[in-house]
Amino acid sequence: MDSEVRYGIVGTGMMGIEHINNLRIVPGAEVVAIADTDDTWREYGRQAAGDVPSFATAGELLDSVEVDALVVATPNHTHATVLADVWDRRVDILVEKPLCTTVEDCVAVHDAARDHPGIVWVGMEYRYMAPVARLVQHVRSGDVGDLVMLAIREHRFPFLPKVGNWNRFRRNTGGTLVEKCCHFFDLMNLVCDSEPVRVYASGGQDVNHLDETYDGEVPDILDNAFAVVDYAGGRRALLDLCMFAEGSLNHAEIAATGSTGKVEAFVPESKLVVSPRSGERSVEQIGVDQKVLAAGFHHGATYYEHVAFLDAIRTGTDPEVSVRDGLLAVAMGVAAERSVVEHRPVELAELGF
């Protein structure tokens, strides 16, 4: 396929606009139509994409405009419903994280995707942040020896407002450890290269959104947590999340430590540090094109993700982030949310894994 790949965008809130802005600078990609049920955001999306045809639903878009690929960036709890209108179409799909908000919906999507004629790719941008991708390469190359521990710290700003404030309630998001942290559970699985067995988590809503009300309801989403994951091969991973730490030098810090050394990635400093147990420490500054950085909020990751997705479309290869990857990340988030509520470790077997 040498011609432009035609994209439709479903959901033109903050993340949908980020996809549009990135696709506009990806060689070989063209956004030809958008859809959103909200009139105001649909108009934002139409303008961002360059006055393309706009529709209310994915079905209307696919009935009216020929597209090769569809990006689903609607609110979390709508993914399963949107995808149900797409499965019988010959179109490649990138669906934003989390795949769905419940394990049951994720399983249904996983089963439907088996028979889908196109690629189904789950959007996990953190894999594609340049320093994070380099960390994964170092672990794969054996530069830390036998990996033992993975520690991920995200100390950042609170959740941004979204359309209709849907992200203030766990019934719409699956909870913070699903909505936000599925990225990190996916990254744990990628780096540890093993099956997760159990999750221990402790968290709370202690600072953010406590003075907000929406139709008489106060938000019920965690704003801080620790979560530990045990893996089948004995490796373990830790997530340290704080969403009232916007003054942090780095919003994300990742450390993979093994028998012979450690490698660390820092974002947005875009720095990689390799620390052997014997020998000299090395520090590498990872450059990212300013045009790519300006296209979104994920340190250029959305651009690099789309480059990889487009390559898979052109070559017909399997997605780098599969539906099972998305399903497993949600299951780990659900287990973590359950662990917080029930004050106990939760086995992945309880959720069918």
Least trusted range by pLDDT, from 101-105, 247-251, 294-298: 294-298
pLDDT band at 162 (very low <50, low <70, confident <90, very high): confident
What DSSP line would sit under 13-71, residue for residue?
SHHHHHHHHHHTTSTTEEEEEEE-SSHHHHHHHHHHHTS--EESSHHHHHHHS--SEEE
CA pair distance 159, 211, nearest whole angstrom: 14
The token pair at 125 is 């941008």
Residue 21 has a pLDDT of 97
pLDDT band at 164 (very low <50, low <70, confident <90, very high): confident
Residue 32 has a pLDDT of 98
The token pair at 185 is 């559970």
The share of the chain scoring above pLDDT 90, in percent, equals 96
Residue 302 predicted with pLDDT over 80: yes
Mind listing the pLDDT tens digit for each residue in 75-102?
999 999 999 999 999 999 999 999 999 9
Average pLDDT of the chain, as a whole number: 96
Mean pLDDT along residues 224-231 = 98
Name the helix (H) or strand (E) containing 153. strand 147-155
Residue 321 predicted with pLDDT over 70: yes
Mind listing the pLDDT tens digit for each residue in 22-47?
999 999 999 999 999 999 999 999 99
Name the helix (H) or strand (E) containing 196. strand 196-204
Using an 8 Å Cβ cutoff, are 63 and 135 in contact?
Answer: no
The share of the chain scoring above pLDDT 70, in percent, equals 99
Residue 1 predicted with pLDDT over 70: no
Mind listing the pLDDT tens digit for each residue in 305-316?
999 999 999 999
The token pair at 271 is 């720095």
Q: Among residues 109, 79, 91, 104, which one has the least CA distance to residue 16?
A: 79
CA pair distance 204, 227, nearest whole angstrom: 12
Mean pLDDT along residues 162-179 = 93
Residue 3 has a pLDDT of 82
User: Residue for token digits 């909505």?
Assistant: 179
CA pair distance 192, 180, nearest whole angstrom: 20
The token pair at 131 is 């320093």
The token pair at 291 is 């045009």
User: Residue for token digits 């997705």?
Assistant: 309
pLDDT band at 2 (very low <50, low <70, confident <90, very high): low
Residue 279 has a pLDDT of 86
Domains of the chain by start residue, with CATH: 5-125 (3.40.50.720), 127-287+323-351 (3.30.360.10)
CA pair distance 353, 331, nearest whole angstrom: 9
Residue 163 has a pLDDT of 81
Cα 187 to Cα 104, 307, 326: the distances in Å are 22, 19, 11
Mind listing the pLDDT tens digit for each residue in 100-149?
999 999 999 999 999 999 999 999 999 999 999 999 999 999 999 999 99
Is-above-0.85 flag for pTM? yes
Mean pLDDT along residues 46-64 = 96
Residue 287 predicted with pLDDT over 70: yes
